[in-house]
Amino acid sequence: MARDIDIREGIDWTTVWLYAALVFFGWLNIYAAVYNPENPITIFSTSHNAGKQLLFISSTFVLILIILFVDYKVYDSFAYIFYGFIILLLIATIFLATEIKGSRSWIKLGSTFSLQPAEFSKIFTSLALARFLSTQGVNISKVRDAIVAGLLVFVPPIIIILQKETGSALTFAAFIAVFYREGLPGIYPALGIALAILFVLVLFFDKFYVVAGLAAVCGLFWYVFLKRYERTRQNLVRLGGVFIIASAFVFGVKFFTTNVLQPHQQKRIQVLVNPDSDPLGAGWNVTQSRVAISSGGVIGKGYLQGTQTKFDFVPEQSTDFIFCTVGEEWGFLGSVIVILFFAALLNRIINLAEKQRSKFSRIYGYCVASILFFHLLVNIGMTIGLMPVIGIPLPFLSYGGSSLWSFTILLFIFLKLDAHRSYKV
Amino acid sequence: MFQDRKQIILSFFFLVCTIYALRLFYLQVIDDTYHTIGSTGALKKEVQIPLRGQIYDRNGKLLVANVDVYDMYVTPYKVKQIDTTTFCRLFNITRSYFDSTMTIAKSYSRNRATLFLRQLSKEDYARVADAMVSFPGFTFELSFFRTYPARTMANALGYIGEISKKAHEAQEVEYYRSGDYVGITGLEKQYEMDLRGRRGVKFTMMNVHGENKGSYSNGEYDTLAVIGKNLFTTVDVEVQQLADSLFQGKTGCAVAIEPTTGEILAMGSYPYYDPNMLSGKQFSKYFKELYKNPDKPLNDRVATGFFRPGSTFKLVQSLVALQLGSITPQTFFACGNAPVKCHGHPSGDLHNAVRYSCNPYFYHVFRKTMSATPETNPFKAAPIMLSKWHDMVEKFGYGQKLGIDLPSESSGLLPDVKYYDKRYGSNQWKFSNIYSLSIGEGEISVNMLKMANLAATIANRGYWVTPHLVRGVGQNGKGVLPEHREVHRTDIEPRHFEAIIGGMQDAVERGTVGGGAGIVEGIEICGKTGTSQNKKGKDNSIFIAFAPRYNPKIAIAVMVQNAGFGGSVAAPIATLMIEKYLKRKIERTDIKERMLNLSIKTVEAMAAGGAAKTIPVIKPESISKPTSKVPVAPTKPKKEVETSVKTTFIKPKEENLNKTK
């Protein structure tokens, strides 16, 4: 029965078009990033990133076709096997990989192509997590199930950290949104966000001011938000406890950033607070990307007219900092349109996910949305100076075969599942 | 289950997207720190320094040219650990210079280039170029300084120097940058706008390694540098150089004018100094010395000095009296009966008086002039006639600026009724109070330019043309302001001039210019000696002349300070210059030799310690040869832009050269 479905009717074309638009726009900007007005080469020339990206884009058609024509049940049934395979591959990578810029995460395939298994591990972790959480009787609010789900999500990033790809490892934090959707008490993500805010506050302000602020918030909470009958001794102790823990966190962060983090990681955080502290060293990317985006103005300098994002002024121009080119050449309008496209895509995926009759498909859909969102959050955030520099790509736009393929696979597995949403797995 | 959480998650996603959009709005729309071009790192704003215009004499000989030099700049952040000792030795600078300049550069900007060392010669540059590999952060820009191949006319040409802080702040249109060179004095100052050209700005895209990646926006924002316009002066450098040599050991000045055009043929202020002394690195070495010299070589004695005209003024007195009808050429006054002394010569008519420069005669001439009115009360007659006299003398250019194209010119003093009223009280003075004017002493002062102009006026039989040094800006014969060629009429009839010109010729040939020192074979020179009294020391020797008598080609005024009687020193020098100009050679070598060997110390120099400080002479080999390749005449304009990595000199464009102000 399932095999009889016409994929052309079942597939969600809105998502496909949004995807295609982002990929195409990314390709244009990769060309702009490597474009040299002195010596223009065509966008098709494979001697530079734009031409190579075109090859990657072409090859994704094959991937998409394979994904769409494989039986949708495969993704569910083989989820754990895929997961086990990717864990082994990640471990093997540590030993097989050649070191590139200090990280051992790339496996060479032949002489020209290398693959980054870490990029693909997100897909298989998503599948495994969806499989586990959709299992009959599993409930995330149960401690045992929460631990198993946590382990599924925690193991890959730990191996990735061993590969010294901290950036990719961080993206696994995205799964907290999935847990929340599936019933994790709201206090955990709320706590996470609260701690993140506290963390940032400690970076920008003196720790004693932050603690004083915390005390003020607690006092305000006690007298304004709690009703008279709620001001019990027990609640006072609780509030006091929260205050003490938060204060301890504040001091912990300070200790962590100054004593535990590596000097280069410290600098990345330091330059986020004050890019001028080291304008030509660690602050270089932050300053240059911010300058590039700012110089775009409202409507941008025009396609291929950018000056900041060419000639390697912003390192990793076509990969992690592709958004600078967008900002410089397409201006505020172009940047906001890209963000709107992503917002539309996220909205579409989540609405589709909610429509799934199969719990597996729904959870997987949330995984896709969360991962895309997290990349968006960190990648654009770092180019506009709201996030520390963490080297993760902007989905669909950034140059790179591994990232393009992994995001394509991630998305199209969901579209495949969605095409069969009337069939409960 | 938990379906409501979809909204919370989506809201969170949208919240982040909104925050990012707002942040982008701030960065790209509100914050305009990086919106202007040039403020960003990738665009390099290169200033293209135009070559300053060159200055030529009337025969196309180079007076002022440029020498290519290299200025060294430092970009502090690029300077890594360097061997300072080797560096200082390489550039022959002291450690303290290095440290202090470095500190200044750092305080200015760590990322921008600051001037570190000026004017390294091409040879020096070649010597250090290889070694510079071990000194990152130091870069060179092609620049120039002035050189003076003719080694003359220092004061008239003027010099260039760094713009003063005051002038830099006072400019209405922001053009000069701190440290830019501008004309400080002389023609360099007067024609600054033409000589400087227009600085160009070129935006070049750079990659992170500072490599040139071509022009920005196809040069849309670039402004092309326009080379400075050349100046074509009226000076005859050979006559000028002759004057320089004749004035060896003397103080004074000489100025020669072509009467019919007002073109200045020579203009020297002495003691002589080589203009190369105030160029480039030499400046700091010599300026102070020149400034302190008691003979004030930096003062331009021609256009800015104050002297009594002395006997030369008798010519004006005669002309005014003739025009008023108070005398005729035949009027006879006996020597004597006057409070002014006579030098002992036969009495006679006007011709005779001019020939011998008879003081009593001109006393009577002025007396006649002052009483040429029906008013019999001398206290009332004097103001009436002085006012008339003043208006007539003023037309010779006395008491006002002639309008020469130099930044500073003195007006001198020509007394009027108001002047004496103030001094003696209204109707409290008469002729006997002012008779000194009759022989050019008393309350009258002029500069030597006015005296030469008087010679030119007499040569022209009644008119003078504003004296000027430049007859071509950008192109020979073009671009000169009309006020520099204005014709001024004295309204004295030409026949009156003939009455004194004969006397002037006799004065040279057998009159006040003694011993035949003024006689030049084949040239009728008409002249008048003058002896301007000094407060202390010997009189200044003055001589004005023009030649030939008919169709005069040159009018001249020479003054030698503290040389005594006008005929003794000033006249030989003036006639030698006339000879040189009209014959192109000197036949009277004996007189020339005598003048070359004559040394006259000024009162000031003697007061400053007997042996006056002699001005050092720069060895010819130490004077830089002009190296910048600028076409002598803009006949072959090159349209293309010659670019180098750092600084670009632009060859002149035809349309720019032809454009007048």
Tens-of-pLDDT digits for all 425 residues of chain A?
445 567 777 899 999 999 999 999 999 999 888 776 656 677 777 777 888 899 999 999 999 999 998 988 899 999 999 999 999 999 998 888 877 766 778 888 776 677 889 999 999 999 999 999 999 888 888 889 989 999 999 999 999 988 888 888 889 999 999 999 998 888 888 888 888 888 777 777 777 888 888 899 888 888 888 888 888 888 889 888 888 988 888 888 877 777 766 666 666 666 665 555 444 445 566 777 787 888 888 888 888 877 665 554 555 778 888 998 899 889 999 999 999 999 999 999 999 999 998 999 999 999 999 999 999 999 999 888 888 778 889 999 999 889 999 999 999 999 999 998 766 54
pLDDT at position B602 is 78
Which residue is closest to A348 within chain B, CA to CA? Answer: B10
Residue-wise pLDDT for B244-270, tens only, equals 999 988 889 999 999 999 999 999 999
Domain boundaries, chain A: 2-185+261-419, 186-260
Interchain CB distance below 8 Å, B24 and A327: yes
Size of interface A-B (CB pairs under 8 A): 122
Radius of gyration of chain A (CA): 23
Radius of gyration of chain B (CA): 33
pLDDT at position A221 is 84
The beta strands (E) that lie in B381-428 are given as none
Could you give the ipTM of this predicted complex? 0.89
The beta strands (E) that lie in B7-111 are given as 43-48, 55-56, 62-74
Residue B42 has its nearest CB partner, among A308, A346, A385, at A308
Residue B24 has its nearest CB partner, among A350, A377, A384, at A384
User: Residue B546: phi, psi to the nearest 5?
Assistant: -145, 160
Identify the residue among A295, A303, A379 best suited for mutation to test binding to B, counting B beta carbons within 10 A and taking the highest. Answer: A295
Residue-wise pLDDT for B268-312, tens only, equals 999 888 888 888 777 888 888 888 888 888 888 888 888 888 889
Interchain CB distance below 8 Å, B20 and A291: no
A391 contacts chain B (CB < 8 A)? no
Gap between the Cα atoms of A209 and A205, Å rounded: 7
Q: Comparing A411-415, B111-115, B438-442, B464-468, which segment has the lowest mean pLDDT? A: B111-115
B399-419 exposure pattern, b = at least 16 Cβ within 10 A, e = fewer: bebbbbbbbebbbbebbbbeb
How far does the CA of residue A212 sit from the closest CA of chain B (Å)? Answer: 27
| Integer CA distances (angstroms), A298 to A22, A309, B18, in order | 21, 17, 17
- Structure tokens belonging to residue B135: 């000194």
What proportion of chain B, given as a percentage, has pLDDT over 70?
Answer: 85
pLDDT-based confidence at residue B213 (cuts at 50, 70, 90): low
Query: What are the residues whose beta carbons fall under 8 Å from the beta carbon of A69, sequence distance 6 or more?
Result: A7
Residue B9 has its nearest CB partner, among A37, A177, A332, at A177
How far does the CA of residue A358 sit from the closest CA of chain B (Å)? Answer: 13
State the average pLDDT over residues B222-235.
84
pTM tops 0.80? no
- Structure tokens belonging to residue B304: 């800015």
Longest dimension (CA), chain A: 76
Residue A295 has its nearest CB partner, among B5, B34, B206, at B34
Interchain CB distance below 8 Å, A307 and B25: no
Beta-bridge partners for B465: B487
Domain boundaries, chain B: 67-143, 237-607
Mean per-residue pLDDT over chain B, rounded? 82
How far does the CA of residue B113 sit from the closest CA of chain A (Å)? Answer: 16
Nearest to B367 by CA among B351, B381, B387, B353: B381
pLDDT at position B35 is 55
Interfacial A residues in 311-330 facing B (CB < 8 Å): 311-313, 327
Gap between the Cα atoms of A177 and A371, Å rounded: 9
Higher model confidence: residue B222 or residue B295?
Answer: B295
Gap between the Cα atoms of A213 and B471, Å rounded: 80
Helix B313-324 / helix B448-459 crossing angle, nearest 10 deg = 50
Query: What are the residues whose beta carbons fall under 8 Å from the beta carbon of A225, sequence distance 6 or more?
Result: none
Interfacial A residues in 364-383 facing B (CB < 8 Å): 366, 369, 373, 376-377, 380-381
A177 contacts chain B (CB < 8 A)? yes
Residue-wise pLDDT for A246-304, tens only, equals 888 888 887 777 776 666 666 666 666 555 544 444 556 677 778 788 888 888 888 88
Identify the residue among A307, A309, A317, A368 best suited for mutation to test binding to B, counting B beta carbons within 10 A and taking the highest. Answer: A307
A294 contacts chain B (CB < 8 A)? yes
Query: What are the residues whose beta carbons fall under 8 Å from the beta carbon of B421, sequence distance 6 or more?
Result: B383, B428, B429
Interchain CB distance below 8 Å, B20 and A312: no
Cβ-contact A132, A152 below 8 angstroms: yes
Cβ-contact B441, B310 below 8 angstroms: yes
State the average pLDDT over residues B527-533.
85
Nearest to B256 by CA among B53, B58, B411: B58
How buried is B444 (Cβ within 10 angstroms: 0-12 exposed, 13-18 middle, 19+ buried)? buried
Cβ-contact B545, B529 below 8 angstroms: no
Q: Comparing B94-98, B276-280, B630-634, which segment has the lowest mean pLDDT? A: B630-634
How far does the CA of residue B237 sit from the closest CA of chain A (Å)? Answer: 51
A310 contacts chain B (CB < 8 A)? yes
The size of chain B, in residues, is: 661
How far does the CA of residue A353 sit from the closest CA of chain B (Å)? Answer: 10
User: Residue B166: phi, psi to the nearest 5?
Assistant: -65, -50
Gap between the Cα atoms of A337 and A19, Å rounded: 14
How far does the CA of residue A145 sit from the closest CA of chain B (Å)? Answer: 17
Provide the sign of the torsion angle of the four alpha carbons A379, A384, A390, A391, taken in this order: positive
Gap between the Cα atoms of A381 and B16, Å rounded: 9
Q: Are strands B231-233 and B55-56 parallel, antiparallel or unpaired?
A: parallel
Kindly indicate whether the domain formed by B67-143 is annotated with CATH number 3.90.1310.10. Answer: yes
Identify the residue among B19, B20, B37, B79 best suited for mutation to test binding to A, counting A beta carbons within 10 A and taking the highest. Answer: B20
DSSP 8-state class, residue B335: S
Interchain CB distance below 8 Å, A311 and B206: yes
Interchain CB distance below 8 Å, A307 and B27: no
Residue B16 has its nearest CB partner, among A280, A296, A377, at A377
Interchain CB distance below 8 Å, B25 and A343: no
Residue B28 has its nearest CB partner, among A36, A332, A381, at A332
Beta-bridge partners for A115: A107
pLDDT-based confidence at residue B214 (cuts at 50, 70, 90): low
What proportion of chain B, given as a percentage, has pLDDT over 90?
Answer: 34
pLDDT at position B203 is 66
Half-sphere exposure of B264 (CA within 13 A, CB side): 31
Gap between the Cα atoms of B342 and A296, Å rounded: 91
pLDDT at position A189 is 85
Which residue type sits at B368? K
State the average pLDDT over residues B88-105.
85
Gap between the Cα atoms of B222 and B38, Å rounded: 11
Gap between the Cα atoms of B250 and B237, Å rounded: 20
Q: How far apart are the first and last CA of chain A?
A: 13
How far does the CA of residue A49 sit from the closest CA of chain B (Å)? Answer: 18
**Residues of chain A neighbouring B17 (CB-CB closer than 8 A):** 339-340, 342-343, 376
A173 contacts chain B (CB < 8 A)? no
Region of B377 (left: φ > 0; alpha: ψ -120 to 50; beta: rest) is beta
Greatest mean pLDDT among B547-556, B632-641, B649-658: B547-556
Q: Is the pLDDT of residue B33 over 70?
A: no
Gap between the Cα atoms of B115 and B81, Å rounded: 20
CATH class for domain B237-607? Answer: alpha beta
Which residue is closest to B41 within chain A, CA to CA? Answer: A308
Interfacial A residues in 18-77 facing B (CB < 8 Å): 36-38
pLDDT at position B97 is 86
Nearest to B511 by CA among B345, B335, B348: B345
How far does the CA of residue A320 sit from the closest CA of chain B (Å)? Answer: 17
